[in-house]
Amino acid sequence: VDECTAGSAPACDVTAVCTNVPGSFQCACAQGFTGDGFSCVDLDECTEDATACDDVTNADCVNTEGSFRCVCRDGYQESVDASSPVTTDIDECAEDAAACPDVTSVCVNTAGSFRCACREGYQDSGGQCADVDECAVQSGGCDQDRGRCVNTPGSRTCQCSNGYQGDGTSESCLFTDIDECAANANACPDPNSRCENTEGSFRCECKDGYTDGPAGFCAGGVL
């Protein structure tokens, strides 16, 4: 008699496998279940074997009915091109351009997470990226004597003082006379004056027959 199909024997658990043997039958819980075959319950593989998911890095064991799964931890995702479960770090910076929405910060991917670091020219100040005042330290590398440092958001600029030219960095500002008369035809607005270039500046001189008047204009006329 095949008790397994005849239904004459005490029923095996619905999850069990019935095996007919001469004169009798056997019930065995299916894989993933535990019990005597007549009563089977889910085997908690995660509790039973703490190393169940050790082959998969950065994954945690999750028990399921009749089996278990290795689930990627937060910040990791399952690799789709691998035959066996493999987790890979999620590059939050590449996946979400707005991961670090503050324009003063830059996204840095890390294993299992990411962080927002301050951009160059900014430094953390109470959780916010604040502009660094480069001018506060050694004039920001600008020419201290003949120029000056101007702090800007995220950077600084160097400027040369009037009459000096260069990129403004340390000792770069050189005295260079600018011929204001040649550069600007209206340097002396009064048509009765003529422009005289000088070292570092210029002056307006009244033509013959005219005398200095108010506000740099020339007064008088031919005598």
Point out which residues bind Ca ion (CB under 5 A): 42, 63, 68, 89, 109, 114, 131, 151
Indicate the residue among 24 and 79 with the shorter CB distance to Ca ion. Answer: 79
CA pair distance 26, 36, nearest whole angstrom: 10
Indicate the residue among 25 and 114 with the shorter CB distance to Ca ion. Answer: 114
One-letter amino acid for residue 91 of the chain: D
CA pair distance 31, 45, nearest whole angstrom: 11
- Least distance to Ca ion from the beta carbon of 161, Å? 21
Indicate the residue among 68 and 202 with the shorter CB distance to Ca ion. Answer: 68
- Least distance to Ca ion from the beta carbon of 186, Å? 37
Helices (H) and strands (E) in the chain, counts: 4, 20
Tokens 């290795």 -> residue: 70
- Least distance to Ca ion from the beta carbon of 83, Å? 23
- Least distance to Ca ion from the beta carbon of 75, Å? 5
**CA distances from residue 46 to 63, 144, 221 in whole angstroms, order as listed:** 6, 69, 108
Residue 101, both tokens: 């929405």
Indicate the residue among 34 and 184 with the shorter CB distance to Ca ion. Answer: 34
